[in-house]
Structure 1
C-alpha cells in the first residue's frame, strides 16, 4: 500500500501522541486542538484497518502494531525534520521553531535582555519558552535545549556556557533586620527565621558561604520554603526572614532599599548558566542564532 500525504501528516501526530501518552500534550506541541488530533488518529486507523492506540479516560498506550509503527517511522521522520531545518540555511531570513526549558532566573537574567533584539533580527523564528526550576529530561520532554546552572547539566549533553560565574548572597528586609539584627557569621542563621530553598530535585538547598577559600554550608532553619526566586523575594520583602539567592536577581531590590545584603563578607560564587542539547540531533538554526546572540550581548558577562 502506498503512503499518502494524509498518512505522512498523521504519522507526525501519532509520534507526538506516542511521546507524551497524552492527546492534550501532543495537541499543544503540534498546535492543533485535542479533537482534531483524535479525529486524525481515528482516520489513520480506519484507513489502515489497524488499531494503533489503546485509549482510556486516564491514559493512551500503544498497541503492538502502534509500537512497531513508531519504531519504523522515528528515524525517517527525524531525517525529514533535519532536511527541513537544513533548508533554512538557504533562506534570506532564518525561520523555524525552538523549544526551550529554562529556569526562572535565566529568563530574568539572560532571555529578557536578549529576546527583544532576537525577535527584531529573526522575526520568523518562533521561540517557545517553558519556565521550570525542576530537573527534567529535556530532550525526552520534547525540548530542543535546556538552560541550567553548570553543575546540573547532564553529562551526556553538549553544553555551552552563557554567562560568567554567579555570586550568591543572603539578604533581608530592613524591617526584619531592625527587629532581629543582622547575622555576622553563617552559624548565626540558626537563630534567625530563613526562607529555605527547594531545588528542582525536591531537596532542600544548603546555603553556601565562602571566606578565605573555605566553604561554609548551612542548612537554613525556618517555617517557610520556596522553589522560585520571585516567591522567596516577596517573602523576604514582607519581613518573613532571611533569604538567599543570586546577587543579579537581588540587585534591583538592593538598589531600591527593599532588601539589604547580609553576611556580605561570606558571599559565594556559583556555577555559570549553560545551554545544553543532544549531541545526536542537528542543532536547529534558531537555537544556534539565539546562543550566538546571548554570547554576543553577554547580559551576565562571560
Structure 2
C-alpha cells in the first residue's frame, strides 16, 4: 500500500521532494517506489521534467480510481484504531500563526503528554489552504474564513481587537476619541494573505465602520506589528490577547475600547467523515475540556 500512498502524495504535491517530506521518506525512495509501480503496471504515471512533475493521462485515471479506495482503507484502519485505549499515529494541523500560538501550550503539549503514541505536526501558515488537498487532518482559522462544507469547533471565547500605541507615541499625538480621529494618526497596517491591506473594524450602538488607517509601515505578522508599536512607530490594531501583557505593564496604551466589540473567534475545522480518526477525536475532546476549565481558553 505504501506505493499507492506515494503516488497519491506525489500527485497532491506535484513534487517528489515535497511528497517525500510529507511521508517521512527520502526523495530517492519516493522515486524508486513510483518507478517500481510504473514498471509493474507497464505505464508512465507521471510526466517528469527538470522543473516539474505532473500526472500523465493514465496517471490521472489511476489516481482518480485509487484515491477513494485508499481513503476507504485508511478510514477502516482508523476505525480499528479508534478501539485502542490510546490513539496512535500522526495528526497534521494547518493553522494561522495566531491560532498555532493559541493552541500550542494549552492543547498540543498536553495532548502529546496524554497520548505518547501520537505525533502532532502543527504547520503555521499565512495562506488559507485546502486542508484536504494538502493532506491535513484539520485546520485552525477565524470562524468567518472556514469553508462552509467543513465541521467547525470553536476554540474558546470570542475575539476582541484592540487599538494600541506606546506612551512615547501619545506624548507626540493626541489620543483618538472616535474612529474618525485615526485619519490624523500613523497606523501600523497589516497585509492580509490575499494581498489586501486590512481595514480596522469598529462598532458602537449599531454604527459600524471599517477604516483604512493611513501609515507608511505595512507588516504581515502580529509580533512585528507589536514590536513596532512598542517602539513608538504608530498605532496598531491587534487581538486583545496579543497586547494584553504590554497594556497591563504600561508599555502600550489602549484607545477606542468602546468601539471594539467581540468578534467570532478561532475554530478548529475538519472535513465531515464517516469515521473520525481517533487521534483527531481525542484532540477535539481535549479542546472542549480545556475550554470548560476555569479561565480556560484553547
Partners in 2 of 1:223 and 1:33 — Cα distance? Answer: 45
Distance, in Å, in 2 between the alignment partners of 1:281 and 1:12 is 21
CA–CA distance in 2 between the matches of 1:66 and 1:281? Answer: 28
Shift of 1:89: 2.1
RMSD: 1.7
Counterparts of 1:58 and 1:220, CA distance in 2: 43
What are the residue-to-residue correspondences of 1:89-168 with 2, within 5 Å? 89-168=82-161
Q: Which moved more, 1:208-217 or 1:15-24?
A: 208-217
CA gap 1:174/1:215 in 2 versus in 1, 3 angstroms: same
TM score, norm. by length of structure 2: 0.93
- Is the 1:109–1:300 contact (alpha carbons within 8 Å) kept by the matching residues of 2? no
How much has 1:232 moved relative to structure 2?
1.0
1-side partners of 2:221 and 2:83: how far apart?
42
**How far apart are the structure 2 equivalents of 1:267 and 1:64?**
54
Deviations 1:139-191 (A, max 9, x none): 22211111111111111111122212111110012211112232222111111
Query: Given the alignment of the two structures, is residue 17 of structure 1 paired with residue 17 of structure 2, yes or no?
Result: no
- Cross-structure match for 2:197: 204
Q: Report if aligned partners of 2:156, 2:297 keep a CA contact under 8 Å in 1.
A: yes
- Secondary structure in 2 matching 1:268: coil
Relative distance call for 1:156 and 1:129 in structure 2 (3 A) is: same
The aligned counterpart of 1:288 is 281
User: For 1:90, what is the secondary structure of its paired residue?
Assistant: coil
Q: Which runs of 5+ in 1 are unaligned?
A: 1-7
CA separation in 2, counterparts of 1:107 and 1:62?
A: 34
Aligned to 2:268, the other structure's residue is in SS state strand
Instruction: Give the drift of 1:12.
Output: 1.1
Instruction: Determine the C-alpha separation between the residues in 2 that align with 1:89 and 1:225.
Output: 47
Tell me the residue number matched to 1:73: 66
Q: Which deviates further from its counterpart, 197-206 or 183-192? A: 197-206
TM-score (norm 1): 0.92
Residue in structure 1 matching 2:183, options 190, 197, 209: 190
Segments ≥4 residues shifted beyond 3 Å: 299-302
User: Is contact 2:82-2:277 (8 Å) kept?
Assistant: no
Gaps of 5+ in 2: none
